Amino acid sequence: MTQHLVDPRAPRDLTAFIANLPKAELHVHHVGSASPRIVSELAARHPDSKVPTDPEALADYFTFTDFAHFIDVYLSVVDLIRTPEDVRLLTYEVARDLARQQVRYAELTITPFSSTRRGIDERAFMDAIEDARKAAEAEFGTVLRWCFDIPGEAGLQAAEETTRLATDDRLRPEGLVSFGLGGPEVGVERPQFKPYFDRAIAAGLHSVPHAGETTGPQTVWDALTHLRAERIGHGTSSAQDPKLLAHLAEHRIPLEVCPTSNIATRAVRTLDEHPIKEFVRAGVLVTINSDDPPMFGTDLDNEYAVAARLLDLDERGLAELAKNAVEASFLEAGGKARITDEIDTYTAQWLSR
């Protein structure tokens, strides 16, 4: 009987490598990360909701015809978050899911305006997310920080409210590090939000607006010049403007790339057409993120696997992507060094097996 020896040149199983690779995630939404189990549990608490309680039906419900449809579905899940306990449960479970993927550090984007305008007390909201953040760090070892974002389509009233919640020392949570702008981009010009970003930056927050997801490169330029963006959410259309790509690369402004999100919201037609290769070729600092994982039928590990396929990466290439996210994060230097060292040690051990 011939013995089938494992061919040492055979492609190693990158899935196993990714699953155990220590990671950081910079672009992932609080409500958008509610797992099917959490969403169906919340939907069962609120029978008036149009959100299905059955996880099967939920998978169909999370299939979008276009970006506007995605926002409608997103808001129907926001409507399920009605009490501080809902907020705490959601936040803690999102942290558990992140920890399961070896995420050591995540900057979770939260839209407090959407919850406070739906009646959740602002102080109770802040206490709920902070309780969950501290519990997650103690129990899972996952460090969470917050990005508060303005739902741009809700206009300047939402901008004012979000800025107040993010800069009032009696309210702003300890874990808050950055300030963003989300929702549809079409008809939501970035320059109008300059006064709010100026106040947030003056209060010590980092600027990380979405831009160039569903509109052209001018939106990315506007985010850089008017909102002083330190990172860009998506930035997908930057690939249409070589000068913009060169500027991002020269000034080492990271892109928060969310490949499957761009397909699910129809921002990009197919993964093979995704501009991530152009970003890397231009020398742009690319980070990999999941955006709204359960809604897009993905998770961070899968996004790393997609990046490996699109960029033809081996273990070292994947480790570099993970280190990019650590470098681009707003974690303090000691924490960055710790996670980067862990990534290097893990990768070296894996390759020496």
Ligand X SMILES: Nc1ncnc2c1ncn2[C@@H]1O[C@H](CCC(=O)c2cccc(C(=O)O)c2)[C@@H](O)[C@H]1O
Residues designated as active site: 213
Q: H helices of 267-314, where?
A: 276-281, 300-311
Q: What angle do CA 318, 320, 325 make, to 5 degrees?
A: 100
Burial of 119 (0-12, 13-18, 19+ CB in 10 A): exposed
Q: Decide whether 130 or 292 has the Cβ nearer to ligand X.
A: 292
Q: Decide whether 291 or 301 has the Cβ nearer to Zn ion.
A: 291
120's tokens: 């959740």
Residue 116 interacts with which of ligand X, Zn ion, none, CB < 5 to 8 Å by class: none
How many angstroms separate the first and last alpha carbons of the chain? 27
3-state helix, strand, coil in the chain (%, to 5): 55, 15, 30
Closest CB 155 distance from ligand X, rounded Å: 8
Q: Which region holds residue 232: left if phi is over 0, alpha if psi is between -120 and 50, else beta?
A: beta
Closest CB 210 distance from ligand X, rounded Å: 5
Closest CB 208 distance from ligand X, rounded Å: 11
Residue 290 and residue 262 in contact, taking contact as beta carbons nearer than 8 Å: no
Residue 82 and residue 118 in contact, taking contact as beta carbons nearer than 8 Å: yes
Residue 99 interacts with which of ligand X, Zn ion, none, CB < 5 to 8 Å by class: none
Residues that bind Zn ion (CB under 5 A): 291
Residue 17 interacts with which of Zn ion, ligand X, none, CB < 5 to 8 Å by class: none
Give the other-Cβ count within 10 Å of 170's Cβ: 6
Q: Decide whether 279 or 346 has the Cβ nearer to ligand X.
A: 279
Residue 112 interacts with which of ligand X, Zn ion, none, CB < 5 to 8 Å by class: none
151 strand-pairing partners? 182
Q: Decide whether 151 or 175 has the Cβ nearer to ligand X.
A: 151
Closest CB 29 distance from Zn ion, rounded Å: 6
Residue 71 interacts with which of Zn ion, ligand X, none, CB < 5 to 8 Å by class: ligand X
Residues that bind ligand X (CB under 6 A): 29, 32, 71, 74-75, 109, 111, 114, 117, 149, 151, 153-154, 182-184, 210, 213, 261, 291-292
Q: Decide whether 231 or 336 has the Cβ nearer to ligand X.
A: 231
Q: What angle do CA 24, 30, 35 make, to 5 degrees?
A: 95
Closest CB 67 distance from Zn ion, rounded Å: 11
